[in-house]
């Protein structure tokens, strides 16, 4: 009986560590025109990455990354396009050290993420100390 209780207690203690991170999942951008799917990075599972996963206007999914400064990447379609990458945990619900790509300008910015606990995600893009934020919604 003691062994069973100990096993149950250990399982309960481990459950939060096994739960999905609050930033994982699909997020509707502030404009509502696209969703970004955030998950552990394939080559660095301790970090978070995200790609464009859905567009309100289906034609946008077929559009090309034509603003990219790298000519070799201009032929990529928007659907599946890596948009955020390299975020490392910096405390509960906080991720820093990442990058965010703006396909409308072709520019990449330093970025941080904050899960607000109400189903929203604060996404910041920064140049030096000046940051601009958006609020994305889960779903």
Domains observed in the chain: 21-138 (2.40.128.520)
Strand partners, 38: 25, 50
pLDDT(15) > 60: no
pLDDT(67) > 60: yes
pLDDT(61) > 80: yes
Whole-structure pTM value? 0.83
**Rounded CA gap, 89 and 122, in Å?**
15
pLDDT tens for residues 22-53? Answer: 999 999 999 999 999 999 999 999 999 999 99
pLDDT reported for residue 20: 62
The DSSP string of 10-34 is HHHHHHHHHSPPTT-EEEE-TTSSE
49, 41 contact by CB (below 8 A): yes
**Rounded CA gap, 104 and 119, in Å?**
26
Residue at token pair 């910015």: 109
| Among the listed residues 34, 137, 50, the one whose alpha carbon sits nearest the alpha carbon of residue 95 | 50
Residue 124's φ and ψ, nearest 5 degrees, are: -115, 135
Q: Mean pLDDT for the chain?
A: 88
pLDDT > 70 fraction of the chain, expressed in percent and rounded = 86
């Amino acid at each position: 009986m003691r062994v069973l209780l100990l096993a149950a207690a250990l399982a309960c203690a481990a459950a939060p560590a096994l739960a999905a991170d609050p930033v994982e999942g699909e997020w509707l951008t502030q404009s509502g025109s696209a969703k970004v799917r955030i998950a552990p990075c394939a080559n660095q599972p301790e970090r978070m990455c995200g790609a464009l996963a859905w567009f309100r206007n289906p034609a946008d999914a077929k559009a090309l990354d034509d603003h990219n400064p790298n000519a070799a990447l201009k032929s990529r379609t928007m659907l599946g396009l890596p948009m955020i990458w390299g975020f490392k945990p910096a405390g509960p619900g906080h991720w820093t050290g990442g990058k965010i790509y703006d396909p409308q300008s072709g520019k990449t910015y330093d970025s941080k993420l904050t899960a607000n606990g109400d189903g929203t995600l604060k996404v910041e893009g920064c140049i030096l100390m000046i940051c601009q934020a958006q609020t994305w919604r889960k779903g």
